[in-house]
């Protein structure tokens, strides 16, 4: 079992819970600790720092499943907000570089215009 690409924590847990309930019906029962370990193992590589932080900071044998899911959902929201902000920043940076280019071209054009005007009005040309 692994979390699918573009799947959120809620839908991943719903699929996970369906499998666990089917296994319960067959007589296989998991402890809370085993369930949390399985959930943490199914997360993608991008979640590895969060998984490590949870494993090191919390005692999984005493942690509730609801707390773990809440922590994962909070992290998911932060990651999506950060991704949205990064996208906005990239767009703004591209516009700024285009504006800089246009400003430089306007300045360059103005300098050429002034220099040609000076050549036409200079006393040497008379």
Q: For 101-119, what is each residue's pLDDT tens digit?
A: 778 888 878 888 887 766 7
DSSP 64: -
* Distance separating alpha carbons of residues 16 and 7, to the nearest angstrom: 12
Are the beta carbons of 19 and 51 closer than 8 angstroms?
no
Are the beta carbons of 2 and 42 closer than 8 angstroms?
yes
Question: Which of 43, 87, 92, 46 shows the shortest CA–CA distance to 68?
Answer: 43
Q: Give the residue extent of every domain in the chain.
A: 9-90
Q: What local confidence, expressed as pLDDT, does residue 14 receive?
A: 95
Helices (H), the chain: 9-25, 32-42, 48-57, 65-121
Residue with tokens 């400003």: 103
- What residues in the chain have per-residue pLDDT under 50? none
Q: What local confidence, expressed as pLDDT, does residue 100 receive?
A: 74
Q: What local confidence, expressed as pLDDT, does residue 62 receive?
A: 86
Supply 87's token pair: 């996208």
């Amino acid at each position: 079992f692994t979390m699918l690409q573009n799947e959120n924590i809620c839908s991943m847990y719903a699929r996970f819970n369906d499998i666990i309930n089917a296994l319960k019906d067959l007589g296989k029962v998991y402890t809370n600790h085993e369930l949390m370990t399985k959930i943490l193992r199914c997360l993608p590589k991008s979640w590895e720092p969060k998984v490590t932080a949870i494993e090191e900071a919390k005692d999984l044998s005493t942690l509730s499943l609801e707390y773990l899911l809440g922590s994962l959902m909070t992290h998911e929201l932060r990651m999506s907000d950060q991704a949205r902000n990064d996208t906005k920043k990239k767009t703004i940076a591209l516009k700024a570089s285009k504006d800089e280019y246009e400003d430089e071209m306007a300045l360059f054009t103005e300098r050429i215009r002034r220099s040609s005007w000076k050549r036409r009005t200079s006393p040497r040309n008379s």
